[in-house]
Structure 1
Amino acid sequence: MLAAGQLRVLQRSGLIDLRRPLTAARKARNVRKFGPIAGGVRACADVCPDTVALIDADGELTYRELDERTDQLARRWMREGIAPTGVVAVLCRDNRTLVETMVATAKIGARLVLLNTGFSATQLSDVAGREGVTAIVFDPELASTAAELTESFVRLDASAVVREHVVGQGRIQPPARQGGFVLLTGGTTGTPKGAPRRIESPLAAAQFLDRVPLHRGRTILLCAPLFHGTALSQFILGLNLGCTIILHGRFDAKHAVAQIARHRCDAVVLVPTMLRRILDIGDDELARHDTSSLEIIFSAGAALPPALGDRTQRTFGPVLYNFYGSTETGTATIATPDDWRAAPGTVGRPPIGITVALFDEAGRRVTRPGDVGTVYVGNSIAFAGYSGGGSKKTVDGMMSTGDLGHFDSAGRLFIDGRDDDMIVSGGENVFPGEVEDLLYGHPAVAEAAVLGVPDDEFGQRLAAFVVRGGDGEIDEAGVRDYVKAKLARFKAPRDVVFVDELPRTTTGKIDRTGLRAL
Structure 2
Amino acid sequence: MTWQMADIWENIAAAIPDKPAIIDGAKRYSWAEYDNRAARLAQLLADHGLEPGAKLSIYSYNSAEYMESQFGAFKARVCPVNVNYRYLEAELTHVINNSDSEALIFQAQFAPRVAAIRDQLEKVKLFLEIDDGSGEHLPDALSYEETLQSTEPMPVIERSDDDLYMLYTGGTTGMPKGVMYDHKSFASALLAKGFEMRMLEPPTDAASFGPLVQQLHAMGAASRSIPACPLMHGTGMWIGAMIPHSLGGCVILFDNSHFDPGALWQLAEDEKATDITIVGDVFAKPMLAALDDAKAGGKSYDLSSLLMMGSSGVMWSTEVKRGLLEHLPQMAIVDSMGSTEGSMGSSITTIENINSDQTAKFEMNATTKVLTEEGRPVAPGSGEMGLICNGGMVPLGYYKDEAKSAATFKTFDGVRYSIPGDFATVEADGSITLLGRGSACINSGGEKIFPEEVEEALKTHDSVYDCLVVGLPDDRFGQKVTAVLSLVEGARFDETALSEHVRSKLAAYKAPRAIILVDEVPRAANGKAGYKAAKEIALQRLQVPA
Q: For the superposition of Structure 1 and Structure 2, which TM-score range results when normalised by the shorter chain? A: 0.7 to 0.9
* Offset, 1:424: 3.0
Alpha-carbon spacing, 1:136–1:480, altered in 2? closer, same or farther (3 Å): same
> Which position in structure 1 is the counterpart of 2:77?
109
Per the normalisation by structure 1, the TM-score is 0.86
> Which position in structure 2 is the counterpart of 1:456?
475
1:155-234 superposed matches below 5 A:
155-156=127-128, 157=142, 158-160=144-146, 162-163=148-149, 171-175=155-159, 179-187=163-171, 190-200=174-184, 203-204=188-189, 205-213=191-199, 217-234=222-239
What secondary structure does 2:422 align onto? strand
> Which position in structure 2 is the counterpart of 1:376?
389
Deviations 1:204-249 (A, max 9, x none): 2222332345865221111111111112212111111110111112
> Which position in structure 1 is the counterpart of 2:290?
281
Contact 1:333–1:347 under 8 Å retained in 2: no
Contact 2:276–2:308 under 8 Å retained in 1: yes
What secondary structure does 2:397 align onto? coil
What secondary structure does 1:503 align onto? coil
> Which position in structure 2 is the counterpart of 1:128?
96
1:40-439 superposed matches below 5 A:
40-148=8-116, 150-151=118-119, 152=121, 153-154=124-125, 155-156=127-128, 157=142, 158-160=144-146, 162-163=148-149, 171-175=155-159, 179-187=163-171, 190-200=174-184, 203-204=188-189, 205-213=191-199, 217-234=222-239, 235-250=241-256, 251-272=259-280, 273-285=282-294, 287-317=299-329, 318-328=331-341, 330-337=342-349, 341-351=355-365, 354-369=366-381, 370-379=383-392, 381-390=393-402, 391=405, 392-396=408-412, 397-439=416-458
CA distance in 1 between partners of 2:473 and 2:172 (Å): 21
Contact 1:363–1:395 under 8 Å retained in 2: no
Q: Which moved more, 1:430-439 or 1:281-290?
A: 281-290
Aligned match for 1:441, one of 452, 460, 466: 460
* Offset, 1:164: 5.9
Contact 1:52–1:60 under 8 Å retained in 2: yes
Contact 1:443–1:471 under 8 Å retained in 2: no
Q: Which moved more, 1:152-161 or 1:74-83?
A: 152-161
Contact 1:306–1:437 under 8 Å retained in 2: no
CA distance in 1 between partners of 2:150 and 2:114 (Å): 29
* Offset, 1:462: 0.8
Deviations 1:261-316 (A, max 9, x none): 11111110011111111112251325521122211110113122333333333332
Alpha-carbon spacing, 1:188–1:60, altered in 2? closer, same or farther (3 Å): farther
* Offset, 1:365: 1.4
Alpha-carbon spacing, 1:110–1:472, altered in 2? closer, same or farther (3 Å): closer
User: Where in structure 2 are there 5+ consecutive unaligned residues?
Assistant: 129-141, 201-215, 538-546
Identity over the aligned pairs, expressed in percent?
25
> Which position in structure 2 is the counterpart of 1:15?
none
CA distance in 1 between partners of 2:91 and 2:20 (Å): 36
CA distance in 2 between partners of 1:363 and 1:425 (Å): 26
* Offset, 1:174: 3.4
User: Where in structure 1 are there 5+ consecutive unaligned residues?
Assistant: 1-28
Count of equivalent residues: 480
* Offset, 1:137: 0.9
The reply to whether residue 500 of structure 1 matches residue 519 of structure 2 is yes
Contact 1:74–1:108 under 8 Å retained in 2: yes
Alpha-carbon spacing, 1:346–1:464, altered in 2? closer, same or farther (3 Å): closer
CA distance in 2 between partners of 1:288 and 1:445 (Å): 26
Deviations 1:156-182 (A, max 9, x none): 34334654697xx88333346764332
Contact 2:162–2:183 under 8 Å retained in 1: no
> Which position in structure 1 is the counterpart of 2:529?
510
> Which position in structure 2 is the counterpart of 1:6?
none
Runs of 4 or more consecutive aligned structure 1 residues displaced over 6 Å after TM superposition: none
Alpha-carbon spacing, 1:472–1:122, altered in 2? closer, same or farther (3 Å): closer
* Offset, 1:131: 1.6
Per the normalisation by structure 2, the TM-score is 0.82
* Offset, 1:423: 2.4
What secondary structure does 1:415 align onto? strand
> Which position in structure 2 is the counterpart of 1:18?
none
Contact 1:393–1:400 under 8 Å retained in 2: yes
Contact 2:269–2:301 under 8 Å retained in 1: yes
One-letter amino acid of the structure 1 residue matched with residue 497 of structure 2 = G
Deviations 1:349-386 (A, max 9, x none): 234xx41111223332112323321111101x311110
